[in-house]
Amino acid sequence: MTRMISRGRRLSAATAILMLSTGLSLASAQAEDKAAILLPGSANDQSWNALGYAIVKSLEPHGFKTAYTENVADADEAEAVRDYASQGYGIVLGHSGRFVSAMQRVAPDFPKTQFIAVSGNEGAEPNVMSIDYNNAQFGCQLGLLAAKMSKTHKVGGIYGLQGVPNITAQAGAFRLCATKAGAAVTILYIKDMEDAAQAKEAAFSLIGNGADVLTGKLNAAEAGLVQAAKEKKVYVTGRGFDQTAIAPDLVLTNIVEDWPSMIGSTADQVKAGKLFGSFVQYGYDSGKTTGASLKYSADKAFGPAVPEAVAKEVDAMAADFASGTLKITPTEQDARSGS
């Protein structure tokens, strides 16, 4: 069961929880395995925050009772983090790297609680961590794929949140690897990761300048990118099977993130008594889980437009990352806006 605590009612809800726990001591309540997530937006946004809700739900098979708070404003982050920790939640997640600062302030008061920033890029010993997949590795694969599929030798990427480390990693790697494979790359940034109209307009701009393969790392706006590709009949990559459904003949693949695997692996170790105070990044070289995968559908990595020879090249790159023979560290210059 997942409990939702709204932003404006966290404290009163916490009181109600304590009143309802008749016959349970505080010690036993704190011993219970519980996990909660703080969402910056609505759990029903069908995008990033809905993913966060799914992440905390995925911990229930690991033996955790779960809760979430949505629409957490920047000014309320530390209070919200502290609320859950004081209620005995063994894992408190924040659904973006922006929660790290609040967690670092609160963590010293709760040394047995594991604080986790989803898609962050830093940690603090002994119990504040960030988890993400290796955006650079997957961005590099998309760069190679785009270059190989382009007839104009021009490809483009559309992103939001310029300068955020995981965006820099994916966009920069896309440019580096597409360029190395012979394509000219243009990257555009939009102001709102949720605005499909903005993404569509940016995609039309790239297509008008000759790009015939597009990619991006957006939230709800990803649908606008794919819709533009469909209307102009150019190839595109997405972030999930709903994008494949929009343009099944034109979607080449999707980066499908496996947050249940990444977070679940950590949760099992926390239950066993281990705490983390670092940035943990999953990829082809991380062993137990890669953190993400290229998938066109549940049983196929690539769409029907991708020749077998190209698919093999992209898969070979994954093998090189896994063996350590290929490494990539994109810079902000690599991820720059423009050509």
Q: In this structure, what token pair is assigned to residue 1?
A: 């069961």
Confidence of residue 19 (pLDDT cuts 50, 70, 90): very low
pTM for this entry: 0.87
> Using CA atoms, how far apart are residues 150 and 211, in angstroms rounded to an integer?
8
Residue-level pLDDT at 15: 34
Residue-level pLDDT at 14: 39
> Using CA atoms, how far apart are residues 229 and 232, in angstroms rounded to an integer?
5
- pLDDT above 70 covers a percentage of the chain that reads 91
What are 292's strand-pairing partners?
257
Q: Give residue-wise pLDDT tens across range 297-306.
A: 999 999 999 9
Determine the average pLDDT of the residues in 41-52.
89
Q: Give residue-wise pLDDT tens across range 270-295.
A: 999 999 999 999 999 998 799 999 99
Q: In this structure, what token pair is assigned to residue 199?
A: 């993404």
Q: Give residue-wise pLDDT tens across range 289-322.
A: 999 999 999 999 999 999 999 999 999 999 999 9
Confidence of residue 3 (pLDDT cuts 50, 70, 90): low
Q: In this structure, what token pair is assigned to residue 142?
A: 């998309």
Residue-level pLDDT at 46: 78
- Residue 236 near residue 250, CB atoms below 8 Å: yes
Residues 6+ apart with CB under 8 A from 182: 147, 153
> Using CA atoms, how far apart are residues 53 and 62, in angstroms rounded to an integer?
16
- pLDDT above 90 covers a percentage of the chain that reads 87
pLDDT at 7 > cutoff 90: no
> Using CA atoms, how far apart are residues 25 and 218, in angstroms rounded to an integer?
45
On the question of a cis peptide bond just before residue 307, with omega within 30 degrees of 0, the verdict is no
pLDDT at 24 > cutoff 50: no
> Using CA atoms, how far apart are residues 70 and 15, in angstroms rounded to an integer?
19
Domains and CATH numbers, the chain: 2-118 (3.40.50.2300), 135-258+290-323 (3.40.50.2300)
